[in-house]
Chain A
């Protein structure tokens, strides 16, 4: 009977069943633990769907989810749109008040490049190694953007690694932060920055877009949208656009992003030993980035009188604002009257920009 011949059930492979379990696990973690649910929930479901046989959902040129993936991610539309929303959500005040903390956001990119080097030494291609390294930047859309450009075959694994580790920031970072700082350093109370004027905030996105894009043109798609979103916010005259960019538009593209990423993870693509390496290397990148931010803060303290609490350096790992929250918690554990949250937002946001620059440099050299 034709019906039975076309039935998917007969074409199920053990690999597919294993992928169902992985997809269900992500759905479970998203719901019960609320690990990045906005992304891991659709990704998990996408994994399950794509590992049902004979659906042709990811068939090039005809599949439904293939179209989402092709036009959204391969055409590099969704990650920049998410950056538009992030720009509209970001208050650069903390960064403008304490510009020297920007360098902590740069230091946290060291993990990206160290991991890139190690991944390459382990036998990944240059492009794959770059994609794995960027996980250490802890920025989902940038990771996806770079993966789509350099190593689409690793996109699913790298995206899931990046988002899972971002959710695990409160677990991964504190031990490293405590290991690298003394109790006295954790108790350092920082001097408040000056008040930033509305006009500074208004000029910044225009200035910053020009400067960064002039230096690293390949970062233009992400930086341009990021700063445009921020200009919407700070101009105060396009509240409608500001509101749409940070809410509805971002939510819409997040749906297509999640399901498409999940759907790239079919059994033959995902169940390879390289994927285990990606997860290990991604974690390693996160750890190095955390450590290098802290170490640079300690180095800067050797030269300045106005001391930096080195914990703030850990927030250079861009996972916004989770990394800053963790800094606040670890700081408050040492001295409950120490409020590091706003100080940590500076390097946190600088880390986002740093990761985009790092991705831009990878693209300009390796593309």
Chain B
């Protein structure tokens, strides 16, 4: 039961951490590459 509980906790937190880091990566990506549209309008 201990193992199952570990998997449960690790799993749910792991998924949130994983996608959370992806969230940060998307934000960074926006800083790096998200400005093209503005340039065109200038």
A pairs with B: yes
**A residues whose Cβ falls under 8 Å from a Cβ of B:** 95-96, 99-100, 102-103, 105-106, 109-110, 112-113, 116-117, 120-121, 126, 129-130, 194-200, 202-204, 207-208, 211-212, 215-216, 350, 353-354, 357-358, 361-362, 365-366
A195 touches B19 (CB 8 A): no
B26 touches A354 (CB 8 A): no
CB distance from A103 to the nearest CB of B (A): 6
A212 touches B22 (CB 8 A): yes
B42 interface contact, C-beta 8 A: no
Decide yes or no: A116 and B7 within 8 Å by CB, A100-B23, A350-B19, A357-B19 being known contacts. yes
Query: For B14, what are the chain A residues with a Cβ–Cβ distance below 8 Å?
Result: 215-216, 357-358, 361
Q: A196-B34, A354-B15 are in contact. List 12 more A-B contacts (CB 8 A).
A: A99-B26, A109-B15, A130-B7, A195-B37, A200-B33, A204-B26, A207-B28, A207-B29, A208-B25, A211-B22, A361-B15, A362-B7
A197: contacting residue among B17, B23, B36, CB under 8 A = B36
- A-B CB proximity, top 7 nearest: A199-B33, A197-B36, A357-B18, A106-B19, A99-B26, A200-B33, A120-B4
Secondary structure dominating the interface of B: helix
Provide the bound-state CA to CA distance between A239 and B1, in Å. Answer: 50
A102 touches B22 (CB 8 A): yes
Query: For A194, what are the chain B residues with a Cβ–Cβ distance below 8 Å?
Result: 34
B37: contacting residue among A112, A197, A365, CB under 8 A = A197
A113 touches B8 (CB 8 A): yes
Decide yes or no: A126 and B29 within 8 Å by CB, A103-B16, A354-B15, A357-B18 being known contacts. no
Provide the bound-state CA to CA distance between A130 and B3, in Å. Answer: 12
Provide the bound-state CA to CA distance between A322 and B34, in Å. Answer: 29
**B residues whose Cβ falls under 8 Å from a Cβ of A:** 1, 3-8, 10-12, 14-23, 25-30, 32-37
Query: For B35, what are the chain A residues with a Cβ–Cβ distance below 8 Å?
Result: 197
B15 touches A126 (CB 8 A): no
Query: For A103, what are the chain B residues with a Cβ–Cβ distance below 8 Å?
Result: 16, 19-20, 23
CB nearest to B19 among chain A residues = A106
A99 touches B27 (CB 8 A): yes
Provide the bound-state CA to CA distance between A217 and B6, in Å. Answer: 19
19 A-B residue pairs with Cβ-Cβ distance under 8 Å, sorted by A, are A99-B26, A102-B19, A106-B16, A106-B19, A116-B4, A116-B7, A117-B8, A194-B34, A197-B33, A199-B34, A211-B25, A212-B18, A216-B18, A353-B22, A354-B19, A357-B15, A361-B10, A362-B11, A366-B7
CB nearest to B27 among chain A residues = A99
Provide the bound-state CA to CA distance between A366 and B23, in Å. Answer: 27
B30 touches A116 (CB 8 A): no
Provide the bound-state CA to CA distance between A350 and B1, in Å. Answer: 30
Decide yes or no: A215 and B21 within 8 Å by CB, A99-B26, A113-B12, A126-B3 being known contacts. yes
